[in-house]
Structure 1
Amino acid sequence: MSRKSAAPVVAELGRPETPEETATRKAASSQAYRSSQTFRHLIAALILTLGVVAVIVFAVPRGEPAARDDIDVAAIAADVETAMDGPALVPELDDFWRVNAAELTGGATVVWNITVAPADEEERGFIRIAQAFDADASWAPQMLDGFASTSTVTIDGREWDVYDIGDRGSANVSYALGTQAGSDYVLLFGSRSPESTAGLAESLSPQITTLEEAE
């Protein structure tokens, strides 16, 4: 004849568990197990995610930053000459300079703009070379917050108007040089030193002579 085994005595209770107590204990145990598994899964997922990120970081090629595209000033100037039916400046720059922008802008005065900056990024500043078609010195203050020429200087036998703005202007323009080139006015303005601006002006002399001879 079979006999049911007696329920074990629980030390905390000092008596056998009731069926309800047994069910509650097993449910709590299952809940604790599921919680521990969820935590383990979370940790495993985190480790996996970090591993994927590490693979991406180390697998992506680093190398040097992409070199900026060279601007073909001569090609753009050719289009400007066609549009304006006249010569446009094409500066012959040495290795110190790089061209950041070259464009023709419209308005009351049409201007051929070439913005240059030192090729060495540790050197600061910029100079914009602006050829204003059919303009004279009265146009320059429009580009210089209303500042007029303060004096003149001779560079390579050519007289240039000096605009010594210092920190009184805006748009990071502190100095400018301008000269008449036939029917056009050429203005160099920016944040480089007077010496640097004068050096660029001297390099433009042959180009400016070409503009004059084209009249």
Structure 2
Amino acid sequence: MGFKLNYLLSILPRLIGAAAVNIRLAVIIMLFALALGTALTIVRSLKIVAVNACIAVVISFVRGTPLLIQIFIAYYVLPAVGLDLSPEVAGVSAIAFNSMVFVSESMRGGLATIDAGQIEASTALGLPPHAIWLKVVLPQLFRRIVPVLINEATIVVKGTALLSVITVVDVLRTAQQIASASYRPFETMIGSALVFLVINLVISLSGRVAESRFAAARV
């Protein structure tokens, strides 16, 4: 059974339509990951030994286990303790939790590049800690980790494909359904790969534009 370009073109609209699910979930995940990662970074900066020890254990778990297992835990294990989540909520929770850790690690590294004198000057002026974070630290920090956030966004988009295993009807799940009905997995998998490739190329190009604008603003 040879490759048929016409068949690939005929199924692309359906795959592109399904990509709306991946994009929607990826946006939600990144917003949660950015908010939670920022909060985690601030908590870690307080240097409370017991809290940081617990956070270190969580980070080790997230970094040391496959994302797919984390998704399975959210979908299959959490109901056993009373948290019965829908496939999308479980998937978003698992990937956002995973991404939160990597965002926080990136922000922690970015903090080291911010001049401590700015924080000391802000403190001397009488600014409260929350104002220092909101007006001095975080604006600079977000600008400096834009490349990392763009890279994380592409990872998140690819990670949403894993949600097909818990019945989320996304690009990959749709491709599997088409392949099962048509017995043409070659074209359907190529089509799904192209859809993800285009999405991530758009994200990467948007990131480069944002980087150049931030660089121009600093000049």
TM-score by length of 1: 0.22
Name the structure, 1 or 2, with higher relative contact order (CA <8 Å, separation 6+): 2
Q: Which structure has the greater CA radius of gyration?
A: 1
Q: Which has the higher helix share?
A: 2
TM-score computed with the length of structure 2 as normaliser: 0.22
